[in-house]
Amino acid sequence: MSIFISIASYQDPLLVSTIFSAYENAENKNDLIFSICDQSDNTIDINGVTFSDQIHYDHVDPLFSKGPCWARHRAQSFFNEEDFFLQVDSHTQFAPEWDSIFIKQLEKISANQEIDEYFKKPIITSYPRSFKVLDFEKGLFELNTGDKHTQVITYRKDSLFLKGSFSRQIGIPTKHTDITHAILLAAGCIFTKGAFVKEIPYDPNYYFYGEELSLAMRAFTNGYSFFHIPDVPLFHLYTDTSDIPRKLHWDPEDDQKRAVKWTELDKKSLNRLDDLFADKVEEPLSLGKERSLEDYALISGIDLKNNLVLDIEKATESSFLESLDWKINPL
């Protein structure tokens, strides 16, 4: 069963390592199809990679880049009816047999659709555990494999409706050892059926703020449901090190040369999020019609139409998600 792997990268020295980690740790290597949007000064010699026929490589001069959502949108353009879709960041490491783990967990969740359609289109998502770079040149990394519990994503209590409709979200470790329902998703770890790419195409009009919330609500209202799993087979570099500094899209050195500055893109993104919840965005980038934002408010405690917190515990505490039976429709 084929897996379409979307990777958007911006001046990231760990991109090559991420690609090889995914390939080498997969149980079924031939089933992987990589789609990479590499916004960098230097190109990767893809022809020198032994599995180059499994890679779609799109190189973009960083001066012409318009941010991560724009890049993820480009990466999705190479989708060719693969069975599954995985989206990760370009500084990710993979656990052994990660592909089989994701597929088995998704199928386990999907099996409940015979009882309730809520489980028909599941998405596995998480903020992956961290890893440290021990020796970049030798490709030595220390993966945080110790904590195998389920980690959930909630809204940050101190950042609710920080800018219009936008609220920050945060990953919370738990002592839970089973699947849980989820109310939010992380753009750096999305695993679902390949049909997602066509049903919820990435909106290039977002920049950074608003990416995850807009994607989650478009997916949720189109019938997708979110789940967290224990022992997620991915690891993410959350901080730069002095040995491998990584530029960000909004770094002044690059941004000063662009015609459209990142602040303008950021403002446009936040306005886009407000428009989404006000039903001012056209299909297929609008909200869906299978579920409503009122449905979402029931399980999240957040009213996104009116920027209201209805239940602070549901919105910000991991205990609520842990208390639910994941096999039962939370609506």
**What digits encode the pLDDT tens for the residues 29-67?**
999 999 999 999 999 999 999 999 999 999 999 989 898
Please, what is the average pLDDT of the chain? 94
Confidence of residue 252 (pLDDT cuts 50, 70, 90): confident
Domain edges within the chain: 3-323
**Confidence at residue 246, expressed as pLDDT on a 0 to 100 scale:** 73
Name the strand (E) or helix (H) holding 309.
strand 308-309
Counting residues of the chain whose pLDDT is more than 90, the rounded percentage is 86
- Name the residue type at position 312: I
For tokens 């199809």, the residue is 33
Helices (H), ranges, the chain: 15-25, 68-76, 98-110, 196-199, 211-221, 252-255, 262-277, 293-300, 312-316, 318-323
**What are the tokens at 327?**
């096999």
Q: Token pair for residue 288?
A: 């869906």
Report the interhelical angle of 211-221 vs 262-277 (nearest 10°): 30
**pLDDT (tens digit, 9 = 90+) per residue, 296-330?**
999 999 999 999 999 999 999 999 999 999 999 99
- pLDDT recorded at residue 240: 66
Task: Retrieve residue 198's tokens.
Answer: 């066509």
Query: What gap in Å lies between CA 274 and CA 214, rounded to an integer?
Result: 10
Phi-psi region of 210 (alpha: psi -120 to 50; beta: other; left: phi over 0): left
Q: Is the pLDDT of residue 82 over 90?
A: yes
What own/partner pairs with CB < 8 Å and gap ≥ 24 does 275-282 have? 276/165, 276/214, 276/217, 276/218, 277/165, 277/217, 277/304, 277/305, 278/305
Specify the CATH number of the domain 3-323: 3.90.550.10
